Chains A and B, each alone.
Chain A
Amino acid sequence: MRRLELMLVAAVLALAGAAGPVRGQDQLTESPDGPEAVKVYFTPDEALARVFAEADSLWSEEWIPTPGQRSELETRLGWAVTGETFVVHRGIRDGQDQGYAMIMEEQGRFKPITFMVKVKADLRVEMVLVMVYRESRGDGVKRQRFLKQFRDKDESDHLRLNRDIVAVSGATMSSRALAIGVKKALAILTLKHAPRKDGP
């Protein structure tokens, strides 16, 4: 019996350690929801190195859509687009395209969430990484269990919350922010890189 008790105590202590904080730099700041920890999971360089791990060169391009492209983008999204320019990162290996990535920032419940959306050369999502999370709760959206729902989605997918993408319980606004950012990135990258249907 004593042995069983010791086993239980050891297991609980081990589990407590396993459930500890994830990798990140904590900075205490104030926010409308009280004290919070700004968690930086990836810097831009770290995120790019992660999503383009196999690329031998990286390119960054600032894309300024023409008024026609902006109008097309808004029609595709059904939403007014803010921002004059978009930065698109591209990885190349042996002359072959390794896909594109964008750093997105979308409003969560109180603070913006910064994350990276990486799409393959066929313009389907390969990976989403939460880079900076600034609120005291809802950081469950950083887990791959949630983020992997975006894999292989393309611009034709709606990414509607709780229909196409299941929100993290207790982090609905953060889940929504991620879904919005991924959809926006897909629309931008598809408009910029997909061959035009009415083209030659």
Chain B
Amino acid sequence: MTEKQMKSGLRSSHRWVGALAAVLLFLAGASGFLLQHPSWLGPAANPTFAVAADPVVPGRLLRGTHWGVEESTDQGLTWREIDMLAPPTDVVRVIFAPDDPRLVHALGRDALVRSRDGGRIWQEVPINATGLQPDTRFLDLGIAPGGVLYLLTDDGLLGSSDGGLSWDRRGTATGKASRDWRGLIHDLHTGHILGATGRRIAETGALALLFITVTGLVLLRRNGKVFRR
């Protein structure tokens, strides 16, 4: 390969890489802008995962959705979101206690909440079993007569005989189902994997990429002589 061909190849590569980087930067900017204005994207999707019938009030239902808990008082024809300060997300189970129909639990993937008045005032139930990792996902909840709670997680089964004040493992821990790849990728992307220094490196790299892209485009537009002396 002659020197002329090599320079031509490099010049061509620079243009294509620069154009690709510009497209990526545009997409990142546009998506970031849309994230700042979520209402432009229309109503957010809100799938339903669970439903429970009030054992006391005929026609009243509670359902668990992506955004929290919703209530219907007309047998499910219309629904309204129950306002709560810190709603759990992805509510996979809503249960009225068999011994106390005013006691209702709602289990999200990362939080358990309960109400003692049928769903008006809620509070979080801390899950404080020994050795439980903070990123443990909650999968299902059962309530036995007598109020014993059973909580299935992706790290095994937990039980509480005192209404959720304390939790203990039932059986052996199963171990996490899979590595938190999302967290790992996020840490790599942001530089967090190397701590504060890594974050600074990642930020510097991103800014340098932006600078190189802009200057490359300027040079390209000016004379197309990026690699010529």
Measured between C-beta atoms, what is the minimum distance from B135 to chain A in Å? 9
Q: Which of B44, B121, B200, B215 contacts A20 (CB 8 A)?
A: B200
B134 / chain A contacts, CB cutoff of 8 Å: 32-33, 109-110
Q: Which of B85, B122, B204 contacts A12 (CB 8 A)?
A: B204
B67 / chain A contacts, CB cutoff of 8 Å: 160, 163
> Which of the listed residues B44, B83, B134, B192 has the most CB atoms from chain A within 10 Å of its own CB?
B83
CA–CA, A100 and B192, complex, Å = 37
CB distance A19 to B203 under 8 Å?
Answer: yes
Query: Which chain A residues in 129-149 approach chain B with CB under 8 Å?
Result: 136-137
CA–CA, A75 and B82, complex, Å = 11
Is A38 on the interface with B (CB-CB < 8 A)? no
- Chain B interface size, under 10 / 10 to 19 / 20 to 34 / 35 or more: 20 to 34
CB distance A180 to B44 under 8 Å?
Answer: no
> Which of the listed residues A8, A80, A170, A183 has the most CB atoms from chain B within 10 Å of its own CB?
A80
CB distance B122 to A78 under 8 Å?
Answer: yes
CB distance B204 to A77 under 8 Å?
Answer: no
Residue ranges of A at the interface with B (Cβ–Cβ < 8 Å): 1, 4, 7-8, 11-12, 15-16, 18-21, 32-33, 35, 37, 74-75, 77-80, 109-110, 136-137, 158, 160, 162-163, 166, 170, 176, 180, 183-184
Pairs of residues from A and B, 10 with the lowest C-beta to C-beta distance, nearest first: A79-B85, A80-B123, A78-B84, A19-B203, A15-B207, A78-B83, A16-B204, A77-B85, A12-B208, A74-B121
Q: 10 extra interchain contacts, Cβ-Cβ under 8 A, other than A21-B200, A166-B35?
A: A12-B211, A19-B204, A74-B121, A78-B82, A78-B122, A79-B122, A109-B134, A162-B38, A163-B44, A180-B86
